[in-house]
């Protein structure tokens, strides 16, 4: 790809808690170790909402959001390895790690003390082009060169990391049935697990969607599941779900908080945690997660449910996601 324009269209966050602004901005130039990517599609993640709504408090400003990016390498800088021109790649949330801090040295790069995050501290994919560290680009097969694959880059990856933390659990509850849940349900069911889906009170549409995706039971978050759970993953950013999930899991059960932001957690009695129950969070992801997840997708067919928007409709898509009116995942299509 040699015909790279000087400018591009982008949706820009100038001030938190205000709508994104549709602007013409210069096409970024890749620094050493980076590649320029022509964006095909970019998924809209709940984390984008937390950034736009000011709940994640230290974004780069002005900022181009978006970290579920599918695109092709359009230009390469010096010292790039692992990718070549025209490769189809995915760009996830984790955009850079230092490799030098204690966590990087322990193989826990998701906890890097100097990390950079796509669509938060690094400009992301709500634009026609973006730059990314070549080391953190995920090489994709051609079958993933479409809008439907964009949610796999965060909803899929964070869902997968959360799912891995449930270890050998057979009965797994998913609290909040959106982009991540509908992807990981298909993986879990293919691996012989039983999925119990919890949605907002009265959300019969979401419950029917969960059953369609393979859940063996679906109900509201206030309902008790028909049998004890071995593990639970909380995708909804609602702190009040933690005591409820602890109540739903059996002794030695694991409760995983899969979001980057959650509302205040109410106090709860120790007996809900007792019995060697485990409560833990998921922080970001690693490159190993990307390799592992896309390897699984070679054996497990996952169909994402997506609602497609043009770049200029990003605010509309964010509004619908905020209101809980997206079934599955929202995706901006640029190509």
Give the Cα separation of 332 and 320 in Å (integer).
Answer: 13
pLDDT higher than 80, residue 1: no
Q: Are residues 47 and 124 in the same domain?
A: yes
Task: Give the mean pLDDT of the chain.
Answer: 95
The answer as to whether 248 is a domain residue is yes
Residue 293 lies in a domain: no
- Helix (H) / strand (E) element for 208: namely helix 204-213
Predicted pLDDT at 70: 97
Residue count of the chain, please give it. 335
Report if residue 298 sits inside a domain: no
Do 183 and 267 belong to one domain?
yes
241 and 267 share one domain: yes
Q: Are residues 113 and 162 in the same domain?
A: no
Q: For a pLDDT cut of 70, what percent of the chain falls above it?
A: 99
Query: Average of pLDDT values for 197-214?
Result: 94
Count of domains forming the chain: 2
Residue 196, classed as helix, strand or coil, is strand
In this structure, the answer to whether residues 81 and 163 fall within a common structural domain is: no
What average pLDDT score do residues 19-29 get? 97
146 with 11, same domain: the answer is yes
Identify whether residues 11 and 149 lie together within a single domain: yes
CATH number, position 227: 3.40.50.720
Angle at 296 between CA 293 and CA 301, to 5 degrees: 115
Q: How far apart are CA 254 and CA 168, in angstroms?
A: 10
- Global model pTM greater than 0.85: yes
Asked whether residue 170 falls in the same domain as residue 111, the answer is no
Supply the range of the domain harboring residue 240: 157-281
Residue 297 lies in a domain: no
Residue 263 has pLDDT above 90, yes or no: yes
Asked if 212 and 136 sit in the same domain, the reply is: no
| 16 and 137 share one domain | yes
Q: Quick one: 28 and 116 in the same domain?
A: yes
How large is the average pLDDT for residues 234-249?
96
Residues 224 and 212 in one domain: yes
Which distant-in-sequence residues (6+ apart) come within 8 Å of 35 by Cβ? 73, 74, 75, 76, 77, 80, 83, 89, 131, 132, 134, 137
Q: CA 76, CA 204: separation in Å to the nearest integer? A: 48
State the pLDDT confidence band at 2, using cuts at 50, 70 and 90: low
Q: Give the number of other CB atoms < 10 A from CB of residue 202.
A: 9
Nearest CA among 40, 29, 94, 42 for reference residue 71 = 40
Q: What is the pLDDT of residues 77-90, one digit of tens each?
A: 988 888 999 999 99
Residue 289 resides in a domain: no
pLDDT for the residue 174: 98
For residue 34, the domain's CATH number is: 3.90.180.10
pLDDT for 218 beyond 50: yes
Burial class (CB in 10 A: 0-12, 13-18, 19+), 130: buried
Given pLDDT bands bounded at 50, 70 and 90, which one contains residue 151?
very high
- Residue 268 resides in a domain: yes
263 in any annotated domain: yes
At 45-71, the pLDDT tens digits run 999 999 999 999 999 999 999 999 999
Is the residue at 12 inside a domain?
yes
Q: Which residue has the higher pLDDT, 79 or 73?
A: 73
E strands in the chain: 7-12, 21-26, 34-44, 68-76, 88-91, 94-96, 116-117, 129-133, 138-139, 171-175, 194-199, 217-220, 229-234, 249-257, 278-281, 306-310, 329-333
């Amino acid at each position: 790809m040699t015909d790279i324009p000087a400018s591009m269209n982008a949706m820009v966050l100038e001030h938190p808690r205000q709508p994104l602004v549709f602007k013409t901005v210069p096409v970024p130039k890749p620094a050493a170790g980076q590649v320029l990517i022509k964006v095909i599609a970019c998924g809209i993640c709940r984390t984008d909402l937390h950034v736009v709504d000011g709940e994640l408090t230290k974004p780069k400003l002005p900022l181009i959001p978006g970290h579920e990016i599918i695109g092709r390498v359009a230009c390469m800088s010096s010292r790039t390895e692992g990718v070549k021109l025209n490769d189809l790649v995915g760009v996830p949330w984790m955009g850079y790690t230092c490799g030098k801090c204690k966590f990087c040295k322990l193989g826990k790069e998701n906890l890097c003390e100097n990390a950079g995050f796509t669509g938060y501290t690094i400009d992301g994919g709500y634009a026609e082009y973006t730059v990314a560290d070549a080391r953190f680009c995920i090489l994709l097969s051609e079958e993933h060169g479409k809008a439907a694959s964009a949610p796999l880059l965060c909803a899929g990856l964070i869902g997968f990391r959360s799912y891995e933390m449930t270890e050998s659990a057979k009965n797994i509850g998913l609290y909040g049935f959106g982009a991540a849940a509908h992807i990981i349900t298909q993986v879990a069911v293919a691996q012989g697990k039983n999925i119990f889906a919890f949605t907002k009170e009265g959300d019969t549409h979401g419950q029917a969607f969960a059953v369609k995706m393979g859940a063996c039971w679906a109900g509201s978050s206030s309902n008790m599941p028909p049998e004890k759970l071995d593990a639970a993953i909380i995708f909804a950013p609602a702190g009040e779900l933690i005591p409820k999930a602890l109540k739903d899991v059996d002794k030695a059960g694991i409760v995983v908080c899969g979001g980057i932001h959650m509302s205040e957690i109410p106090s709860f009695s120790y007996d809900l945690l007792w019995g060697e129950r485990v409560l833990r969070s998921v922080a970001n992801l690693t490159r190993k997660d990307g390799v592992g997840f896309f390897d699984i997708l070679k054996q497990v067919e996952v169909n994402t449910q997506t609602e497609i928007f043009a770049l200029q409709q990003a605010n509309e898509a964010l509004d619908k996601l905020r209101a809980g009116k997206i079934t599955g995942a929202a995706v901006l299509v640029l190509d």
